[in-house]
Amino acid sequence: MRRVGITGLGAVTPIGLDAPSTWAAAIAGESGIDFIQGFDTSPYPVRIAGEVKGFDPATVAPPKEGRRMERNVLLALGAAQEAWRDSGLENADPARTGVVVGSAIGGLPGIAEQHGVLRDRGPDRISPFFIPSVLVDSASGQIAISLELRGPNYAPVSACATGSHAIGEAAEIVKRGDADVVLAGGTESCIHPLILAGFCAMRGLVAEEEDPTLASRPFDATRAGFVMAEGACILVLEELEAARARGATVYAEVLGYGASNDAHHMAQPDPESLGVAEMMGAALARSGVEPERVGYINAHGTSTPLGDAAETRAIKTVFGEHARRLAVSSTKSVTGHCFGAAGAIESMMCALALHHQLLPPTINYRNPDPECDLDYVPNDARELSETGAELDIALSNAMGLGGHNGCVLLGRV
């Protein structure tokens, strides 16, 4: 079977408008979480989020076209265009190049806006661009149009596991020969009054009024909920031997992919963590990698009391005693939870950890929790050359509402 390398990276996140700045901020432990600036939050019990700051849509689409696109699509275009440039694949065969980019919430802000138009101004004032702009597959379609790519193209939707499933399925497309190159990842822009109100009603968000940068504290004993965020991340996946032949930078190899469902509850993790353990086990089995070879896990780690404990239990189930020797960190401590983009952002973090031999930290970790007792790379990045260790295999975990689980296993090239 063909092997798959990652040869291009693109990201637009609360901590950076491109992949290098996002990585640099994560390594420095610089939080992108702040008070929401996009609308008046005074009626809400939660007023913080990880917003993308300083993004100019005109840099990714002509203004007339950009006004017809939802923000999540524009963020995806920014990440995809950066990843495409980074890959150096401008002359790739369009018919052999695909796009698999999903979203959890997609164009719901646009739906809410057009519902207001219908209510206040009547049906004849609805935008003719409404339906195409809010579809979940709008991002994957617009990326294909922007880069003139005619290969396999679709948009997975699996809540917060979307980005991981997109990368895993894209790798399968390349492995089985249906395409030679696939742009894969996730995008989300859901910091909107209706969506904030919905998550407040679910009581899963943390309210941190004094210092928003302290709000997301995965695995800490005082963790109190997640922080909603927006962003996009796209990886270019390419048949590995072709990438090597053209002298491309290969950040990492996609070794395996696992998917499962908790089959337990739409919003709460399975206390036994069976589905999450089965997901990681499936990725290891598919790749033929022994658990003891995994050196780092970028955890789902949302900073919720139940979720972080359940993920820790799953890691112990799969890795046994080796779990104590693993490094585990959550970069949601700096980005917040980017929902459908999260798995892609965190897969990129794993690829760069392998490439640079450097582990991003879990910031705001101050109070150990007896239920979460692994090495969470607390507060400061870890330079592996200083410890004499080498990182060869890394795993990115993602879990979503509905019990959806997805993980991507990456190896150093």
- Length of the chain in terms of residues written: 413
- Catalytic one among 300, 338, 355, 404? 300
Biggest distance spanned by C-alpha atoms of the chain:
67
| Separation of alpha carbons 38 and 28, rounded Å | 26
Cross-strand bridge partners of residue 6 = 237, 252
Alpha-carbon distance 333 to 362, whole Å?
Answer: 6
Q: Is there a contact between 128 and 97 (Cβ–Cβ < 8 Å)?
A: no
Residue 160 designated active-site? yes
Q: Which of 136, 144, 138 is nearest to 179 (CA)?
A: 144
Residue of 337, 338, 355, 372 marked active site: 337
Q: Are 307 and 129 in contact (CB under 8 A)?
A: no
Q: Decide if 300 is catalytic.
A: yes
264 catalytic residue (yes or no): no
**Which string of b and e fits 49-60 if b means at least 16 CB within 10 Å?**
bbbbeebebeeb
What is the distance, to the nearest Å, from the Cα of residue 368 to the centroid of all Cα atoms in its chain?
A: 26
Active site members = 160, 300, 337
